[in-house]
């Protein structure tokens, strides 16, 4: 009887304990977050980007950190969206040297997508209707960034200005996290066509299994023939592909398509910093943040185990903003802090995240 009572007490105590915090998120906040904004200390202007805000909103959602989510959302809306996310796409660059102000008012569409996604998912997980209203309004604004290119279909421009000239359109494949578009299509079937167009652009721009940072399309849908390099932008293409649900058939397609990048990573132990897309010529090793991006596409083998060992030993320091966010995505996904289903909904295999 006494043993049963003691067992019941232990179980009750365990159930009442708070879920374990996501330590990497706490470390990131200590290093790169202050008063509502994410700071890139590698730039002497102490910049904040809409990218950094959008990624950190997702990490806060995954960590169940409602207070930080709300503070970041308010800062983003106030300082990057002229006070209203439902009417203004966020400016991508803000600096605090010598004084805080928008440095470049152009938007970055991938960040806009992540912010809309975080708002929709926060509304669902935290039962906050006002987040949903903002998320849907932002989706409406995002439609203004869609263009139709022959043989591709509907795709998203990288931003409002500077990507359409002389009948040519410049795209950034790393701006297409396809599982976000799956989620948007749950709200509005319009986004199904954008998903298909962005998938075509991703595949066609990387014929040898290596994604480019940027790709230009002629007005007839053909690619402008020129030297093309994949590096600090393109590395995220592999990250987004690897984080797709195994139940989404597109993931298997992308895994096969980008197998050359995975093989190169296994050969070098980390991904190359630069890859010439058309020749597959690699130039030197990239950072561990790059390795975090390829990890979700890798099989569970000795190469993946080595990268995990490197990543878990890598400290989060303020001078490495970009490496830090890539690591939180890649290693966080690998450690099952979060995952995405075939419809793009986020969930938490360890039972934590937004429910904490």
For 96, other C-beta atoms within 10 Å of its C-beta total 15
**Distant-in-sequence, close-in-space partners of 321: CB < 8 Å, separation ≥ 6:** 32, 38, 39, 40, 41, 42, 52
User: Which class for 85: exposed (0-12), middle (13-18), buried (19 or more C-beta within 10 A)?
Assistant: buried
Residue 51 known to be catalytic: yes
Task: Tell me the Cα Rg of the chain.
Answer: 21
d(CA 229, CA 323): 19
Give the residue from 176, 129, 115, 186 showing the smallest Cα distance to 345: 186
**By the 8 A CB rule, do 113 and 142 touch?**
yes
Cis peptide before 151 (omega within 30 of 0): no
d(CA 35, CA 18): 25
**By the 8 A CB rule, do 255 and 239 touch?**
no
**Pairing mode of beta strands 339-340, 281-285:** unpaired
Of 51, 248, 334, 337, the active-site residue reads 51
Residue 34 known to be catalytic: no
Of 40, 65, 77, 110, the active-site residue reads 110
Which residues are catalytic, by number? Answer: 51, 110
């Amino acid at each position: 009887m006494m043993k049963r009572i003691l067992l019941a007490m232990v179980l009750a105590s365990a159930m009442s304990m708070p879920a374990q915090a996501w330590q990497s998120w706490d470390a990131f906040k200590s290093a790169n977050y202050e008063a509502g904004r994410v700071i890139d200390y590698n730039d002497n202007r102490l910049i904040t980007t809409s990218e950094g805000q959008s990624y950190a909103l997702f990490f806060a959602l995954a960590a169940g950190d409602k207070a930080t989510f709300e503070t970041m959302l308010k800062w983003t809306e106030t300082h990057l969206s002229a006070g209203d996310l439902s009417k203004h796409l966020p400016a991508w660059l803000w600096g605090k040297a010598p004084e805080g102000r928008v440095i470049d008012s152009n938007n970055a569409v991938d960040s806009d997508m992540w912010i809309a996604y975080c708002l929709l998912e926060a509304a669902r997980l935290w039962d906050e209707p006002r987040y949903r209203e903002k998320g849907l309004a932002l989706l409406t604004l995002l439609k203004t960034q869609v263009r139709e290119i022959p043989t591709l279909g509907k795709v998203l421009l990288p931003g409002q200005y500077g990507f359409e000239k002389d009948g040519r359109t410049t795209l950034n494949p790393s701006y297409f996290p396809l599982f976000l578009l799956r989620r948007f299509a749950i709200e509005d079937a319009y986004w199904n066509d954008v998903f298909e167009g962005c998938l075509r652009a991703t595949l066609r721009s990387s014929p040898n299994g290596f994604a480019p940072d940027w790709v230009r399309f002629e007005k007839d849908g053909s690619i402008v023939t020129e030297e093309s390099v994949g590096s600090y932008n393109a590395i995220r293409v592999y990250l987004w592909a690897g984080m797709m649900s195994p139940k989404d058939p597109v993931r298997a397609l992308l895994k096969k398509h980008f197998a050359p990048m995975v093989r190169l990573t296994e050969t070098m132990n980390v991904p190359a910093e630069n890859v010439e897309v058309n020749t597959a010529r690699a130039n030197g090793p990239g950072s561990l943040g790059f390795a975090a991006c390829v990890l979700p596409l890798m099989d569970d083998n000795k190469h993946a185990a080595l990268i995990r060992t490197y990543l878990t030993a890598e400290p989060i320091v303020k001078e490495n903003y970009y490496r830090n966010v890539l690591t939180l995505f890649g290693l966080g996904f690998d450690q099952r802090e979060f995952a995405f289903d075939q419809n793009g909904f986020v969930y938490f295999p360890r039972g934590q995240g937004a429910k904490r």
